[in-house]
Amino acid sequence: MKAHFDDDLKACATLVRRADPDRFMAAMAAPVAVRPILFPIYAMNVEVARAPWVTQEPMIAEMRLQWWRDALQEIAEGSTVRRHEVVTPLSRILSPHLAAQLDEYVAVRRWDIYRNPFEDEDHFEMYMAHSSGALMVASAQALGAADETVLRDFGYAVGIANWFRAVPELEVRGRIPLLDGTPDGVRKLATKALDRLASARKRRKDVSPAARPALYAGWQARHILRRVSADPGCVAAGALATGEIRRRASLIWTVSTGRW
């Protein structure tokens, strides 16, 4: 099946390419026919993730996130959907259930607006489940059948890996991203994420081949988590960048073997 890229889809792809090069690479490694599904979801992720950071006014940031929640509600209810280069293609690919999943994702990003630390472990776990977990569920199930528990385990691991990479920048911006930033606390979090990744990988058969390309986005998670587990200090040092050759080679391996 030949995918048709209209101006909206091209805008989504451009947005992802500029703001989220890892997911752009993962989407480009996927079959051409599924890119019109992945790019709008990844573009929405870019727009929502940056909404709390583009203004110093919490009320304006709240309004930006509410705009996305209203748009997703329109999709979920099947009502007239606002015209927008990301929302319009989203409305063609999201079921009401998946629109609700993404509303969950937008709602939890309110934490990003303020400087309050996570209240406790349950709060941190909820943030990861509703952000990275919900995004993984929506992107995979938009493509095909996939068990939600597997997707949430995998999404959690990917979310923690990405979170570790973001820690230095979050701290510069005045946030407190970790409940326990000691080496032992960081190692325990990496180990927990690795355990959930292993649990997801044991159930690969519960993710259909059609849905599998959505999981390409997590191709670096295992490597990052293992590095953090071995050397927790690399998180604070911002030393989790992967060389370009290794980065591309590992993505090619993931795609060619299907062993996400």
The pLDDT of residue 5 is 87
Length of the chain: 260
User: Could you list the residue range(s) of the whole structural domain that residue 2 is in?
Assistant: 1-114
The pLDDT of residue 10 is 97
Could you report the per-residue pLDDT of 173-194, keeping only the tens digit for each? 999 999 999 999 999 999 999 9
- Domain-ending residue, one of 99, 114, 129: 114
Q: What is the mean pLDDT of residues 229-239?
A: 97
The pLDDT of residue 166 is 97
Contact status, residue 154 vs residue 136, Cβ threshold 8 Å = yes
- In 3-state terms, what secondary structure has residue 178? coil
Could you report the per-residue pLDDT of 89-111, keeping only the tens digit for each? 999 999 999 999 999 999 999 99
Could you report the per-residue pLDDT of 119-146, keeping only the tens digit for each? 999 999 999 999 999 999 999 999 999 9
The pLDDT of residue 1 is 43
Is pLDDT at 2 greater than 90 in this prediction? Answer: no
Question: Do 162 and 220 sit in the same domain of this protein?
Answer: yes
Question: Do 62 and 191 sit in the same domain of this protein?
Answer: no
Question: Do 13 and 96 sit in the same domain of this protein?
Answer: yes
Question: Do 24 and 99 sit in the same domain of this protein?
Answer: yes
Contact status, residue 151 vs residue 133, Cβ threshold 8 Å = yes
Question: Do 206 and 153 sit in the same domain of this protein?
Answer: yes
Is pLDDT at 13 greater than 90 in this prediction? Answer: yes
Residue 3 banded pLDDT, cuts 50, 70, 90:
low
Question: Do 97 and 141 sit in the same domain of this protein?
Answer: no
Question: Do 131 and 169 sit in the same domain of this protein?
Answer: yes
- Domain-ending residue, one of 63, 87, 114: 114
pTM to 2 decimals? 0.95
Question: Do 84 and 50 sit in the same domain of this protein?
Answer: yes
Question: Do 174 and 209 sit in the same domain of this protein?
Answer: yes
Is pLDDT at 240 greater than 60 in this prediction? Answer: yes
Domains: count for the chain: 2
